[in-house]
């Protein structure tokens, strides 16, 4: 077994906007340091292809196989580019942890499954580095949701014996980790993050996202629409639970909009509040020691949306609301770092899931190992 202290994580999320890569180092005390990181845009044609597969839920075996291989090459190129840029010897890397691209997540069907693509054989072959992928299905095999998987890493980085901490990741979907002293670590997907905001912006402004929430700021929140959006049954389901583009997508939004005649910017403003309120409603359900300070640490793309952050501060006056960057961990790379950490856990046969989070019957080491040679 390798004794390397360097691990790479690759993450491309629900938003499909790019591939995040993080190189982390474990010191002698198992503390984690981010050594290098970058984001590589998803090639436009591939992004459109993936969106078509995810939204239509229709593809061919040939298209699925070719997309799987194409992603493998792109992930490998991302790793090689980072190593060359920072002049890092690939022989010093213990493993690559690649999340892959989720194209379907169905944890509650007759035969629960999740599907991430991006051929790890290709990544291992092209980089010469042992690659670990397929992190979610072992958890599901033991009865879990297969998501979210980052809470164990959040616990490693952010837990405090003197604060009630919630770590909120706002990617395409929002999920949070509840780190309260003397309580079991829990967490789950709270609902949409940037997914609907970005899709609505793309449809109306032909831009990938609403820069600095300027468009949303020009609109006005419609409380009736907000109430209608929050009436989705997912929000009334007990945890553990997870969700994705399979539920929250433009088709879902357009159905919800049918009784309303609103301007696109008012809808965008309402979608910002939808992301925020769907989280704060979940926070209101939590029990904790109220004598301790409460802190909401936000990461992911949503942490860079000034209107989302402002609304959280307004909705949570008794909480300290901050980005993880303000606590020393770049908001853009927390998830990529998590999959580097999960690769370390797998190589050392250590658990990567938290059963109280995913609903799995036991803690297990997650991921399939693809040796380099």
Q: The domain that contains 157 carries what CATH number?
A: 3.30.420.40
Residue 3 has pLDDT above 90, yes or no: no
14 is in an annotated binding site: yes
**Cα-flanking dihedrals φ and ψ of residue 232, to 5°?**
-60, 135
4 vs 248: CA distance, rounded Å: 41
112 is a domain residue: yes
- Those residues whose C-beta lies under 8 Å from the C-beta of residue 345, and which sit 6 or more positions away, are 152, 351, 352, 365, 366
Residue 138 shares a structural domain with residue 217: no
The structural domain count of the chain equals 2
The answer to whether the beta carbons of residues 308 and 170 sit under 8 Å apart is: yes
**How confident is the model at residue 280, as a pLDDT?**
98
15 is in an annotated binding site: yes
Residue 76 shares a structural domain with residue 106: yes
Closest CA to 186 of 362, 13, 366, 353: 353
Work out the average pLDDT over 290-307: 97
114 vs 116: CA distance, rounded Å: 7
Domain of 86?
Answer: 6-146+333-370
Pairing of strands 101-106, 113-117: antiparallel
- Count other C-beta atoms under 10 Å from residue 15's C-beta: 22
Q: Which pLDDT band, with edges at 50, 70 and 90, does 271 fall under? A: very high
Q: Which pLDDT band, with edges at 50, 70 and 90, does 2 fall under? A: very low
Residue 219 shares a structural domain with residue 357: no
Q: For 252-304, what is the HEC assignment?
A: HHHHHHCCCCCCHHHHHHHHHHHHHHHHHHHHHCCCCCCCCCEEEEEECHHHH
Helices then strands (H, E): number in the chain? Answer: 13, 13
Cβ-count burial 47-81 (b if 16+ within 10 Å, e if not): bebbeebbeeeeeeeeeeeebbebbbebbbebbbe
**How confident is the model at residue 27, as a pLDDT?**
85
366 vs 188: CA distance, rounded Å: 18
1 is a domain residue: no
Angle at 17 between CA 15 and CA 23, to 5 degrees: 105
**Quick one: what percent of the chain has pLDDT higher than 70?**
99
**How confident is the model at residue 1, as a pLDDT?**
40
- pLDDT mean across residues, the chain: 95
The answer to whether the beta carbons of residues 187 and 279 sit under 8 Å apart is: no
Residue 224 shares a structural domain with residue 164: yes
- Those residues whose C-beta lies under 8 Å from the C-beta of residue 157, and which sit 6 or more positions away, are 32, 329, 334
20 is in an annotated binding site: yes
Residue 373 has pLDDT above 90, yes or no: no
144 is in an annotated binding site: no
The answer to whether the beta carbons of residues 268 and 221 sit under 8 Å apart is: no
Residue 137 shares a structural domain with residue 256: no
Residue 71 shares a structural domain with residue 103: yes
16 is in an annotated binding site: yes
Could you check whether the bond before residue 144 is cis, i.e. omega within 30 degrees of 0? no
Q: Which pLDDT band, with edges at 50, 70 and 90, does 20 fall under? A: very high
Residue 81 shares a structural domain with residue 181: no
The answer to whether the beta carbons of residues 68 and 119 sit under 8 Å apart is: yes
Work out the average pLDDT over 305-322: 98
Please report which helix (H) or strand (E) contains residue 309, including its range: helix 306-315
pLDDT digits (tens, 9 = 90+) for 176-214: 999 999 999 999 999 999 999 999 999 999 999 999 999
Joined tokens for residue 368:
């399939």
Residue 212 shares a structural domain with residue 321: yes
pLDDT digits (tens, 9 = 90+) for 140-166: 999 999 999 999 999 999 999 999 999
273 is in an annotated binding site: no
Residue 158 shares a structural domain with residue 120: no
**How confident is the model at residue 17, as a pLDDT?**
82
Residue 229 shares a structural domain with residue 113: no
Residue 249 shares a structural domain with residue 351: no
Residue 137 shares a structural domain with residue 200: no
Angle at 273 between CA 177 and CA 320, to 5 degrees: 45
């Amino acid at each position: 077994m390798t004794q390397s202290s360097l691990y790479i994580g690759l993450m491309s999320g629900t938003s499909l906007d790019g591939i995040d890569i993080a190189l982390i180092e474990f010191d002698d005390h198992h503390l984690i340091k981010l050594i290098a990181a970058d984001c590589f845009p998803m090639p436009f044609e591939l992004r459109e292809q993936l969106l078509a597969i995810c939204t239509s839920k229709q593809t061919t075996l040939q298209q699925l196989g070719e997309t799987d291989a194409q992603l493998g090459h792109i992930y490998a190129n991302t790793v090689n580019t980072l190593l060359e840029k920072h002049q890092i010897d690939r022989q010093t890397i213990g493993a690559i942890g690649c999340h892959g691209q989720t194209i379907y997540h169905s944890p509650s069907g007759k035969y629960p499954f999740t599907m991430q693509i991006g051929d790890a054989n290709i990544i291992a072959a092209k980089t010469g580095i042992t690659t670990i992928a397929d992190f979610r299905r072992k958890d599901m095999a033991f009865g879990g949701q297969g998501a979210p998987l980052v809470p164990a890493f959040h616990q490693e980085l952010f837990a405090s014996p003197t604060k009630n901490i919630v770590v909120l990741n706002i990617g395409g979907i929002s999920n949070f980790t509840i780190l309260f002293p003397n309580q079991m670590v829990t967490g789950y997907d709270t609902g949409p993050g940037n997914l609907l905001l970005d899709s609505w912006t793309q449809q109306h402004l032909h831009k990938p996202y609403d820069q600095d929430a300027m468009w949303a700021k020009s609109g006005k929140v419609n409380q009736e629409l907000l109430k209608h959006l929050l009436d989705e049954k997912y929000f009334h389901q007990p945890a553990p639970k997870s969700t994705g583009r399979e539920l929250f997508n433009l088709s879902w939004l357009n159905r919800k909009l049918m009784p309303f005649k609103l301007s696109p910017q008012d809808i965008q403003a309402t979608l910002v509040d939808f992301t925020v309120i769907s989280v704060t409603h979940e926070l209101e359900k939590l029990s904790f020691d109220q004598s301790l300070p409460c802190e909401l640490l936000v990461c992911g793309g949503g942490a860079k949306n000034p209107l989302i952050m402002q609304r959280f501060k307004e909705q949570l006056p008794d909480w300290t609301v901050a980005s993880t960057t303000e606590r020393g961990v770049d908001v853009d790379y927390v998830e990529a770092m998590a999959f580097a950490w999960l690769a370390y856990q797998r190589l050392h046969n250590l658990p990567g899931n938290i059963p109280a989070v995913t609903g799995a019957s036991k803690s297990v080491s997650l991921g399939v190992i693809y040796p380099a040679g």
